[in-house]
Structure formats: C-alpha cells, structure tokens
Amino acid sequence: MTLTRAELAQYVDHTLLKPEATPADVEALIAEGAELGVFSVCVSPSMLPVSTPEGLAVATVCGFPSGKHQSSIKAAEAALSIEQGADEVDMVIDIAAALAGDFDAVQADVAAVRAAVPAGKILKVIIESAALTDEAIVGACRASEAAGADFVKTSTGFHPAGGASVEAVRLMAETVGGRLGVKASGGIRTWDAAVAMIEAGATRLGLSGTAAVLDGAEATGSY
C-alpha cells in the first residue's frame, strides 16, 4: 500500500488520554493535530468542551479504561460528552462478559450507549482485543454491530495485555466485513506499523505519538 503523509494523517485520531493531561496540554494537542492534518483529536471527557478549527473532529472516551461501569453510567457519560460537543465516542465494553461468551450482555451494553449517541455521531466500541481469544473478538464485534455501533476498536492502550496487533485488526475487519469501521489503537509508534494496520483493514488509527509516526513517511519516500 502506498500512502502519502497527508493521506495517512486523515486516518488518525490524535489522542491524549493521560490522567495528568492539563487544559494547556489539550490546547497543544489541538494545535498540533490541526498542523498535522489529522482527522480528529481524542481527549478525556472531563476536558470537554474544546474549541477546534473547522474540519477537525472531536472524539472522547466512555467507560474508560476498564469498561467495568454500569451501562446506564456509560450512557449518561456519552450523552454529556455529545452535549459538550463530542462528534465521536469510544466506549469500552465489559471485557469479562466477552471472555465469558456473554455476548447478549455485550450487545446490551453497547446498545445502551448507542441510544445516548444520536444518529450523525459516531460510536466506536473498544473490545480490548489483546485480552480476548479469537472467538471472543469475533463475538464482541458481532455484538457491537448488532447494537448499532459504527466502529469496533482494538484497545484502550492502558491494558497490560497490550495494544493493537495486525492479526486482531485483520480478524476484526473480516468479521465486520466493511459494514463497520475498524480502529487500531495502542502501541502504534512507527510509520510501518501504522501502514501495516491499514493494510490489515484498519480504517482509523488511534495515535498519541502522531508526529513521530508521520515523520516516518520521509524514510519511505511517502510524501
């Protein structure tokens, strides 16, 4: 796959979810994201509302990072984020439910948040793929689709099991078959890794070190 730096930037949710992030840090993230030409910035819900230039979307997270919240709490958090200007919400499922094969519970959890995220706003579902079996990845993706999600997403980036893998992205992409987007997130730190995720089927990337990844285009002549 041949991508230019600008083309790859449009896959990126430029992300800052560190607990110690300050309003000044978020302002810097937005300025950098605009300069780099990314698709969106992704910030913690407590940092909303934010002001962004035209064309730069705002994403946030919900039930983050553990997913061990009541569905009603996740839904309320998502609704408030939308009210405060978020265009996209990345929610975390209850990982244990997926591991236990209780995909009805996963679907109900996602559906509760979907009801709080209106049409025209994007809901991404973080399944924490590194912590799941292949069977659970497939089941969680199917449950997310049945509940009306727009994307499935690999990882929070905070789980000790790790972040995105090419294998997980490929399996997720095969499962949703182009009907949903696939976001690869967690541990993607180089140009080659980012391109590999896209080649495997990712339609969005969650990056915190975006500038360093995009700078890798120079080494490959991908300008």
- Residue 102 known to be catalytic: no
Q: Which is the catalytic residue, given 13, 74, 90, 109? A: 90
**In sequence order, what are the residues at sequence separation of 6 or more whose Cβ sits closer than 8 angstroms to the Cβ of residue 122?**
59, 87, 88, 89, 150, 151
Check if 90 is active-site.
yes
Q: Is 121 a residue of the active site?
A: no
Residues 6 or more apart whose CB falls under 8 angstroms from that of 9 comprise 36, 37, 38, 39, 210, 214
172-179: Cβ within 8 A, 24+ apart: 172/127, 172/129, 172/137, 172/141, 172/201, 173/200, 173/201, 173/202, 174/201, 175/137, 175/138, 175/141, 175/142, 176/141, 176/145, 176/152, 179/145
Q: Is the dihedral of CA 180, 103, 196, 15 positive or negative?
A: positive
Q: Which of 94, 124, 150, 153 is catalytic?
A: 153
Residue indicated by tokens 């946030």: 60
Kindly name the residue from 74, 109, 124, 183 that is annotated as catalytic. Answer: 183
User: Which residues participate in catalysis according to the annotation?
Assistant: 90, 153, 183
